[in-house]
Amino acid sequence: MTLMRSTVLAFGLLASSSLVAAGPCDIYASGGTPCVAAHSTTRALYNSFSSPLYQVRRASDSATINISPLSAGGVANAGAQDSFCAGTTCLITVIYDQSGRGNHLTQAPPGDFRGPEANGYDNLASAIGAPVTLNGQKAYGVFVSPGTGYRNNVASGTARGDAAQGMYSVFDGTHYNGGCCFDYGNAETNNRNNGNGRMEAIYYGDNRGWGTGAGSGPWIMADLENGLFSGINTGNNGGDPSITWRFVTAIVKGGSNLWAIRGANAASGSLSTYYSGARPRVTGYNPMQKEGAIILGIGGDNSISAQGTFYEGVMTSGYPSDATENAVQANIVAARYATTGLNSGPGLSVGSSVSLRATTACCANRYLAHTGNTVDTQVVTSSSSAALRQQASWTVRAGLGNSACYSFESRDRPGSYIRHYDFALQLNADDGTKQFREDATFCLQPGFNGQGNAVRSWGYPTRYFRHWANVTYTASNGGVHEYDSAGLFNDDASWVVGAGFA
């Protein structure tokens, strides 16, 4: 026992002293459990990695650009993305595998569930939904809205059958929901639910359909197919805590009748083990029958209801030791993940009354207003009726779902806010739900046509306030709805924010 302890301690010291400059995958390799997939839009996960981290595509001309680290082992060159995407919108098209195995993640295809694209594929993530800083340098995570997903069905080197693997991810602990299933990890190769034990991925969120932990969530759980597991029991395991950190390190690892859930604040401190032991006591999970595909943001069968934010994550070959993972956690903490503003350009003053004027040639005398519960545009002047002037005036509030952005409260119906529902803009009373508050939260960026501002949905950052036939939507720049049409998008989605009429 004494001998074992000192061996572990010696390894821990070795890991933290001789690997000071090592990236997460260098640490896993020296622990004998190398990365077989390594994904991050924020930084290199090997000390020597300097190749592209991810690819973005802009809407204006469908051109793509690869974003690489600023230096080997360093933080992504977010400035290159910002220049490339100026005046248009960008989507993350590829998240490259840094392991050298070519296990890149791309737009997930339809499975048991179809994605929202016309061809059944899932949506791609906005390139700007999840800005952060690492050691003071700006980078972007992958902001997954419901409907968004990435996958690789032909991954090489990932665990198959009952073989052992490790996984960690860094997530935004405050961005989650109860939908199925915000996952990163090992899943079916055919996008379908092939039965118990066919997948083994990290899950993050407050889904209560299968497992739960202590409190009301969100929890780190293991998605093992037909079940999210928080420990040995199906259902509740009190050892799996609700997570409250902004940045979360989430770990799931699994071998032969042995698996574990571990977690930590990704910005400080060390990992705790929330479960370690035998496979769940239900048929089909021992032995496991992992298939080895890789998913991000979706369930194994392409369930697309979940949301969350992914910054970095890896899958390993072999069952990593706790000591190896502890050294990886120290590396993540040293990367110094921190929040940064969600708005770009000058902000709005909370409490002020504003108007938003359309800038498309057809409609430059029209303002964002409401008629009943419908948010539309109307011709308004200072001599319009008092009622209309109020209907076209909005009180700026701190974002109900994220105070780094804004909500727009009705002037004539205090307590009611602009929110999207089925992507149409509506005026509804705040019902206090997380869903309402997120639907009513919008972030500002410079207008696409050089005028005013674009108003981006916090929860669906590919979508912006847009007028279409004089009613309004959160529209994407090209997409399945008529109002997503790329023609005139830049004008329709740019608004001059001025003083309110009332």
Write out the catalytic residue numbers: 225, 301
Whole-number Å distance between alpha carbons of 9 and 2: 10
Nearer to ligand AHR, 222 or 328 (CB): 222
Residue recorded with tokens 């674009």: 454
Residue 383, burial from CB neighbour count under 10 angstroms (0-12, 13-18, 19+) = exposed
For residue 180, which amino acid is it? Answer: C
Q: Which long-range contacts (CB under 8 A, 24 or more apart) does 415-418 make?
A: 418/368, 418/370, 418/375, 418/394, 418/442
CA 408 to chain centre: 24
Three-class SS state of 343: coil
Site membership for ligand AHR, residue 181 (CB under 6 A): yes
What is the spatial distance between Cα 314 and Cα 166, in angstroms, rounded to a whole number?
A: 8
- When binding is defined by CB under 6 A, the residue of 180, 202, 248, 332 that contacts ligand AHR is 180
> For ligand AHR, how many residues bind (rule: CB under 6 A)?
18
Rule CB under 6 A: say whether 407 interacts with ligand AHR: no
Closest CB 225 distance from ligand AHR, rounded Å: 5
Does 87 bind ligand AHR (CB under 6 A)? Our answer is no
Cβ at position 460, least distance to ligand AHR in Å = 7
Cβ proximity to ligand AHR, 199 vs 260, nearer residue: 199
The alpha-helical segments, DSSP class H, found in 35-132 are 78-85
Site for ligand AHR in 267-306 (CB under 6 A): 299-301, 303
Is the Cβ–Cβ distance between 135 and 274 less than 8 Å? no
The least CB distance from residue 131 to ligand AHR, in Å, is: 21
Give me the helices (H) in 218-296, please.
Answer: none
Task: Provide the strand spans (E) within 41-100.
Answer: 54-58, 64-67, 90-95
Out of 81, 93, 226, 329, the only residue in the binding site for ligand AHR (CB under 6 A) is 226
* Minimum distance, C-beta of residue 425 to ligand AHR, in the bound complex (Å): 9
The token pair at 30 is 């020296």
Cα angle 252-254-256, degrees, rounded to a multiple of 5: 165
Q: Is residue 22 close enough to count as binding ligand AHR by CB under 6 A?
A: no
**Is residue 225 close enough to count as binding ligand AHR by CB under 6 A?**
yes
Least Å distance between CB 495 and ligand AHR? 19
Minimum CB separation from ligand AHR for residue 366, in Å? Answer: 23
Spell 413-423 as b/e; 16+ CB within 10 A means b. Answer: beebbbbbeeb
Quick one: 52 or 185, whose CB is closer to ligand AHR?
185
Q: Is 439 in the site for ligand AHR (CB under 6 A)?
A: yes
CB of 350 to ligand AHR, least distance (A): 23
223 touches ligand AHR (CB under 6 A): yes
Task: Give the span between the Cα atoms of 313 and 330, in whole angstroms.
Answer: 15
Element (H, E) at 87: none
Q: Name residues contacting ligand AHR, limited to 192-211 (CB under 6 A).
A: 193
Compute the distance between CA of residue 419 and CA of residue 441 in angstroms, rounded to an integer: 7
Nearest to 200 by CA among 292, 273, 271: 292
The residue within the footprint of ligand AHR, chosen from 305, 373, 435, 449 (CB under 6 A), is 435
Q: In the 3-class helix/strand/coil scheme, how is 459-472 assigned residue by residue? A: CCCCEEEEEECCEE
- Give me the least distance between CB of 180 and ligand AHR, in Å please: 5
Stretch that binds ligand AHR, among 211-219, 226-234, 263-271, 311-319 (CB under 6 A): 226-234
Q: Please say which residue, 269 or 421, places its beta carbon nearer to ligand AHR.
A: 421
Find, among 70, 88, 159, the residue nearest to 447 by Cα. 88
Q: Is residue 420 at the binding interface for ligand AHR, with CB under 6 A as the rule? A: yes
> Taking contact as CB under 6 A, which single stretch among the options 44-52, 119-127, 368-376, 414-422 is the one that binds ligand AHR?
414-422
**Site mask for ligand AHR (CB under 6 A), range 41-70, x = bound:** ------------------------------
Q: Which is nearer to ligand AHR, 52 or 308 (CB)?
A: 308
Nearest to 500 by CA among 353, 402, 312: 353
Q: Does residue 228 bind ligand AHR (CB under 6 A)? A: yes
Q: Which of 423, 442, 458, 465 binds ligand AHR (CB under 6 A)?
A: 423
The footprint of ligand AHR (CB under 6 A) covers 180-181, 193, 223, 225-228, 299-301, 303, 420-423, 435, 439
